[in-house]
Structure 1
């Protein structure tokens, strides 16, 4: 068994944290004009799809980053990137390198991997589940 196989859960957890952080930064850049601002025009409040995509990036990225509702959040994030790729980038050229859709394609597949494999180590949902387990298994105090 190799080093990465032995530490698979930790590597997956680190991958989840990095992908979630990068995605949340994209959403924050678009919504709040931070981190160098949005890549293009800032979306207007409630504007479809730009504002909603940025909201999904920020909220979904944070949920994936902390590992809470990870699989569902990752599916939504993956779907939003598939929509971005096929709805925006694909019309300009076939390949992501030609149409500027590399980030959308990579995020789409990265989130799909997280959804399939789960949150890995250091996920908030796992910590909360352990906390619930210890509370339910603790002996009842007698009065």
Structure 2
């Protein structure tokens, strides 16, 4: 028997955790692109200039993938892109300042990378916008 079927609260927590992680990731992108919630890191409330590599592109990934993961729409693909972007951030920005995330300020990047990778593997959970709105594709009968 499916674990979530036997323990329905697990599916609820799974979906709520996915939505919360997506929302938090979306907030990073919104801060960097629009200067809200304190703005982009290191800009004292400002935004990342348009098109600047990799900062602006990372912010777009955070905003779009965060929204998709939050809603549970295209979760696996969005989480794969988000996980890769956070792994890239960790190894190009943080790793040079120390081996461990606690010493190189890379905890957030490392956690996001691993949590998004987990979502790639386990999926979005039972509560998604696509299921609620009836947009989920039906699998053909076997």
- Report the TM-score when normalising by structure 1: 0.84
Residues 40-88 of structure 1: CA distance to partner in whole angstroms, max 9, x if unpaired?
A: 1332101110000000000000000011000000000000000000010
Higher gyration radius (CA): 1
The CA distance in 2 between the partners of 1:51 and 1:132, in whole Å, is 33
Cα distance change, pair 131–77 in 1 and its aligned pair in 2 (3 A): closer
Query: What are the within-5 Å matches in structure 2 for residues 1-143 of structure 1?
Result: 5-41=7-43, 42-128=47-133
The CA distance in 1 between the partners of 2:92 and 2:106, in whole Å, is 11
The CA distance in 2 between the partners of 1:12 and 1:119, in whole Å, is 7
Post-superposition offset of 1:126 = 2.6
- Report the TM-score when normalising by structure 2: 0.85
Number of residues of Structure 1 aligned to a counterpart in Structure 2: 131
Q: Which one has more relative contact order, counting CA pairs under 8 Å at least 6 apart?
A: 1
Gaps of 5+ in 1: 134-143
Q: CA RMSD in A?
A: 1.9
